[in-house]
Amino acid sequence: MNVCVTGGTGFIGGPLCKALLGRGDTVRMLSRKAQPSGLGLEVVHGDLLESGGRLLDFIEGCNTLYHCAGEIKDVDLMYDLHVRGTANLLKAVNEEIRKTGEPFHWVQLSSTGAYGKRAVSDVKHSSVDEHCSPAPIGEYEVTKTISDELVINFSKLEPLFTYTILRPSIVVGPEMPNQSFFQLSAMVRKGLFFYIGSQPSLSTYVHVSDVVRALMMCAVDARAKGEIFILSNDCLLSEVIDSMAQVYNVSKPWIKLPEGVLRLLVRLTSPFIKLPLTNERMDELIKRVGYSSKKIQQTIGFEFEKTIQQAMPELLSQFIKKTNSKAVVDND
């Protein structure tokens, strides 16, 4: 297959490019840096915000696109990249279809953030699935959802254009840019972690390798065309915490503190002290609504490679190495 990838140097796009090359695909990556990749793929120097020639060069000769580009830090860039960038790319795809008359498949990397924050009373069986209407909150989530809608709407206008949208939950891996997962593990290692409230909570993680495999399956399985899939390897939060403790060879946390008392503490102290525990962080730690991956499993036969607990030694190994290296430097 001749495939194009945006976001090919990112946390998910990077492993995706390697896996595609390993499968024997011819891979072309769009990059703002005009330099060889060193991975055996073609790099087109261009920017999603610049419509025209370079994007046409990027799309030319390809029949499948993985759109993985995303901005997670700079709020001011999110609309431009996610919305304008997607619109520019769709224009280039439209030109390619007009020129070749060949079908084109678009695999969109989205996010479960499209569904917003759901209360247990809002969903059946405490699990969000693809039947739930989008209700994004926050600039990242809103702009990614608009990007999805642009792709869906274009498919209604161009019969040779098909799409699959993959919405993973919190993607974890040794190279993940968001350090909250590792910060959580550090709290467990130091014996500082405690549970909030008395009810069991859920964790909604998915390993980056599973996301890569799902993206690749969505590109080649005809049953995935025109579909939106959620991908999340949910489990109990206590199972994640216990597996972290096992990797670090420390006691499993057991202390539970009342949610109301902690929220009051945060409210009273936040004007004066910046605590690591915020209301947003508490919301994550008392999550009781998960995500259902049944649709992608039943539609294209996707299966998770391993549970998050089984992947924990690999997930934490690099963090442990970095922590140990920093300790050595600090002691010198």
Are 150 and 141 contacting, i.e. CB atoms less than 8 angstroms apart?
no
Are 68 and 110 contacting, i.e. CB atoms less than 8 angstroms apart?
no
Tokens of 136: 């994004």
Q: Is the pLDDT of residue 219 over 70?
A: yes
Domain assignment present for 57: yes
**Percentage of residues in the chain with pLDDT exceeding 70?**
93
Q: Is the pLDDT of residue 51 over 80?
A: no
Distance CA 146, CA 136 (A): 10
pLDDT reported for residue 175: 87
Q: Which residue has the higher pLDDT, 120 or 222?
A: 222
Give the lowest-confidence range in 22-36, 139-153, 287-301: 22-36
Domain assignment present for 132: yes
What pLDDT band is residue 168 in, cutting at 50, 70 and 90?
A: very high
What pLDDT band is residue 308 in, cutting at 50, 70 and 90?
A: very high
pLDDT reported for residue 320: 83
Domain assignment present for 38: yes
Average pLDDT over residues 59-86: 96
Domain assignment present for 312: no
Domain that holds residue 124: 2-177+204-233+290-305
The string of pLDDT tens digits covering residues 124-150 is: 557 899 999 999 999 999 999 999 999
Domain assignment present for 277: no
Q: How far is CA 146 from CA 100, 134, 151, 157, 306, in A?
A: 28, 10, 9, 17, 32
pLDDT reported for residue 310: 96
Domain count, the chain: 1
Tokens of 15: 């492993």
Domain assignment present for 253: no
Domain assignment present for 239: no
Give the lowest-confidence range in 51-60, 67-76, 290-299: 51-60
Average pLDDT over residues 283-301: 93
pLDDT reported for residue 327: 43
pLDDT reported for residue 3: 97
Distance CA 52, CA 1 (A): 24
Phi first, then psi: what are they for 160, rounded to 5°? -85, -5
Q: Is the pLDDT of residue 62 over 90?
A: yes
pLDDT reported for residue 167: 98
Buried b (16+ CB within 10 A) or exposed e, 196-232: bbeeebbbbbbbbbbbbbbbbbbbeeeebeebbbbbb
Average pLDDT over residues 266-272: 82
What pLDDT band is residue 332 in, cutting at 50, 70 and 90?
A: very low
**pTM above threshold 0.85:** yes
Mean residue pLDDT across the chain? 91
The owner of tokens 């579909």 is 227
pLDDT reported for residue 326: 54
Q: Which residue has the higher pLDDT, 115 or 284?
A: 115
What pLDDT band is residue 123 in, cutting at 50, 70 and 90?
A: low
CATH of the domain at 71: 3.40.50.720
Distance CA 71, CA 80 (A): 10
Domain assignment present for 279: no
